[in-house]
Amino acid sequence: MTPSQEKKLRVCPLCEATCGLEVTIAGNEVVQLRGDRHDVFSQGFICPKGTALGQLHTDPDRLRTPLIRRHGQFVPVSWSEAFAEIERRLSPILAEGGRDAIAVYLGNPVVHNLSLMIYSQVLLRILRTQNVYTASTVDQIPKQLASGLMFGTFTTIAVPDIDRTDYLLMLGANPHVSNGSLWTVPDFPGRLAALQKRGGRCVVVDPRRSRSAEKADRHIFILPGTDAHLLAGIAHTLFAEGLVTLGRLEPHTSGIAEVEAALQSFPPEAVSPVCG
């Protein structure tokens, strides 16, 4: 690093793993970008998208100001002009159609940026629209729905305890590449190796031979979109072979008999042709 260069520590805004970044800059130029080895969460991990942030910073097609369409073309404007235009167009829509005439979509990096999260919540309270959509509907709503039903809130998502488990089953996850996403499991290769060293097993279910599948003790290929059938077949087998033991969970559970009854149509011989 030359005297004209300096290092800055930042957090990657691209996904919920929020990996730490070490950025070397010279003026406004990004000279080098790599994972921050001292970051508590990521411990030096960085994915290809994070590595490319330096290129994104200088990309000639990057939007650097708001744009307003005028006379058939997008014209750069100031933020004051942009907000004034939004107010000019939004107010008549609300007056004519009511609060639910507006729909809001939230996605990356809004939900991982504190200032944007605060701002968006204020905006939602002002609009009072019921039409709120998020990127979660694309990639993680089943996990959030299950968490809400089990723990009372969609944001209380269970995190696998990889350092104490002896059997790790992953469906479609690829933490070798993603750093675990919501899981945020730094040094996954090392922790997987520790799991295997103490006699544990890792099984990956994925239609694709991912990097994590290559390192697992077993890779189970299934057809895309058949995850629910596979899980139903596994749960059916657990009940059929008397392997469901609630133990300390019993006072906190209900509907077990209903679950068992609902799984009667999913024995392995029925599920296998579906999953491939």
pLDDT for position 203:
98
Mean pLDDT of 201-222: 97
pLDDT at 1 over 70: no
Give me the helices (H) in the chain, please. 48-51, 53-58, 79-97, 114-127, 136-139, 141-151, 175-178, 188-197, 211-215, 227-240, 256-262, 268-275
Could you tell me the two tokens for 236? 């059916």
Neighbours of 145 (CB within 10 A): 12
pLDDT for position 102:
94
- CATH class of this structure's domain 167-275: alpha beta
Cβ contacts of residue 68 below 8 Å, gap of 6+? 74, 75, 77, 81, 82, 85
Neighbours of 118 (CB within 10 A): 10
Quick one: CA torsion of 79, 81, 85, 87, rounded to 10 degrees? Answer: 70
Could you tell me the two tokens for 73? 């073309």
Is 212 or 146 the better-scoring residue by pLDDT?
212
**CATH match for 7-58 among 3.20.20.70, 3.30.200.210, 3.90.25.10, 3.40.640.10:** 3.30.200.210
- If pLDDT is split at 50, 70 and 90, which confidence band does 194 have? very high
| SS3 at position 98 | coil
- Average pLDDT of the chain is 90
pLDDT for position 186:
76
pLDDT for position 229:
97
- If pLDDT is split at 50, 70 and 90, which confidence band does 189 have? confident
103 DSSP assignment: -
Q: Give span(s): CATH 3.40.228.10, the chain.
A: 167-275
Q: Give span(s): CATH 3.30.200.210, the chain.
A: 7-58
pLDDT for position 14:
85
What pLDDT, in 10s, does the model give residues 212-228?
Answer: 999 999 999 999 999 99
pLDDT at 146 over 80: yes
